[in-house]
């Protein structure tokens, strides 16, 4: 059986499975937040209890984001309208306005691994030749941008807390979706402040920070491994871009459960019509066709070292030594 025939068996959403995933995840998020907020009443002695439940609120917030991601592809439920409603309703928890992000994400899928459309990616990648010819100021700026502090610790939080309050293409997809989304977040924070004071708001912000810290590593690693393929159309075909421009995150069964199998990213890019709850099963059926690049957890963290794409050798490389780069003559301003 051809891979196309196999994948077609998994492209029809199942509403029963969708609700089975959505309701417990939403309930677990609400319970985790409630327990984190209630533990505040015990004072500083219960701070570790608050942190523990805030961690779980963040984890289930990430899972809700993955459900919203499937809604963006309109693959979570059979009904297009129901996908849009659920994706919009859970957006204050995921800190992600639905319509504008859906538009941006579809651009990402349309131009994966296309060097001429890097604007479709949330994480910008320079080629080695572009870096060599860049001004000293631009090289230093790109070094700062691609530093672990910006990429992993500060950048994701700034993206979700600030930049997604009015994302790119919001005017194209409708500003009211974004405005109502932002109002809902403000009301959420206002209720927490009214009931629990600033400590309640801190729990909310803490859960957002932890969720972005975990969640942002996923798109970074699956599109930033050493042997990734980037190209330019028309030489770059869709299948090559999907399968060689994305990896599989082999982080274990618990990671798969909490991320709705999004780690099987090469197949997701090859066929985005497969719901997350079918993705792992379908991937196992197609393994002999995919030749996936699997990344275990330790190797995934090591992917933070790859900064530039070397077109000549077809792989990601590290930065040149800092002082040599700082003193390098500018080839092009």
Q: Spell out the per-residue pLDDT of the chain, length 333, in tens.
A: 678 889 989 999 999 999 999 999 999 999 999 999 988 877 655 788 999 999 999 999 999 999 999 999 999 999 999 999 999 999 999 999 999 999 999 999 999 999 999 988 888 999 999 999 988 899 999 999 999 888 888 878 888 888 888 887 788 888 888 999 999 999 999 999 999 899 899 999 999 999 988 888 898 899 999 999 999 988 899 999 999 999 999 999 999 999 999 999 999 999 999 999 999 999 999 988 888 999 999 888 889 899 999 999 999 999 988 776 666 654 443
As a whole number of angstroms, the distance between CA 242 and CA 153 comes to: 28
Report d(CA 58, CA 94) in Å as an integer: 10
Task: Supply the DSSP symbol for 280.
Answer: H
Q: Residue ranges per domain, the chain?
A: 3-326
CB–CB of 308/317 below 8 Å? yes
pLDDT at 40: 80
Give Cα 188 distance to the centre of its chain.
23
Residue 260 backbone zone (phi > 0: left; psi -120 to 50: alpha; other: beta) = left
Between CA 223 and CA 176 the distance in angstroms is 32
């Amino acid at each position: 059986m051809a891979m196309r025939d196999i994948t077609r068996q998994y492209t029809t959403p199942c509403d029963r499975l969708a609700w089975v995933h959505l309701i417990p995840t939403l309930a677990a998020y609400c319970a985790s937040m409630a327990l984190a907020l209630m533990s505040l009443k015990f004072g500083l002695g219960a701070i570790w209890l608050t942190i523990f439940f805030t961690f779980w609120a963040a984890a289930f917030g990430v899972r809700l984001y993955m459900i919203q991601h499937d809604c963006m592809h309109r693959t979570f439920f059979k009904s297009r309208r129901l996908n849009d409603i659920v994706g919009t309703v859970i957006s204050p928890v995921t800190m992600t306005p639905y319509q504008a992000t859906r538009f941006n994400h579809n651009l990402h899928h349309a131009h994966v691994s296309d060097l001429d459309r890097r604007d479709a990616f949330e994480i910008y990648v320079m080629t080695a030749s572009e870096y060599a010819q860049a001004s000293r100021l631009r090289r230093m700026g790109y070094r700062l941008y691609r530093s672990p502090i910006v990429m992993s610790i500060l950048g994701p939080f700034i993206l979700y807390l600030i930049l997604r309050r009015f994302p790119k293409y919001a005017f194209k997809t409708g500003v009211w979706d974004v405005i109502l989304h932002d109002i809902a977040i403000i009301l959420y924070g206002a209720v927490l402040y009214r009931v629990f004071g600033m400590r309640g708001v801190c729990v909310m912000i803490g859960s957002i920070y932890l969720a972005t810290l975990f969640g942002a590593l996923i798109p970074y690693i699956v599109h930033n491994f050493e042997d990734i393929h980037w190209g330019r159309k028309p030489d770059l075909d869709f299948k090559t871009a999907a399968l060689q421009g994305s990896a599989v995150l082999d982080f274990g069964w618990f990671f798969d459960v909490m991320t709705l199998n999004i780690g099987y990213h090469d197949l997701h890019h090859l066929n985005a019509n497969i719901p997350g709850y079918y993705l792992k099963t379908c991937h196992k059926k197609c393994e002999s066709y995919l030749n996936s690049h699997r990344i275990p957890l330790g190797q995934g963290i090591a992917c933070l070292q790859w900064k530039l794409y070397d077109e000549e050798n077809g792989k990601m490389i590290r930065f040149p030594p800092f002082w040599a780069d700082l003193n390098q003559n500018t080839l092009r301003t």
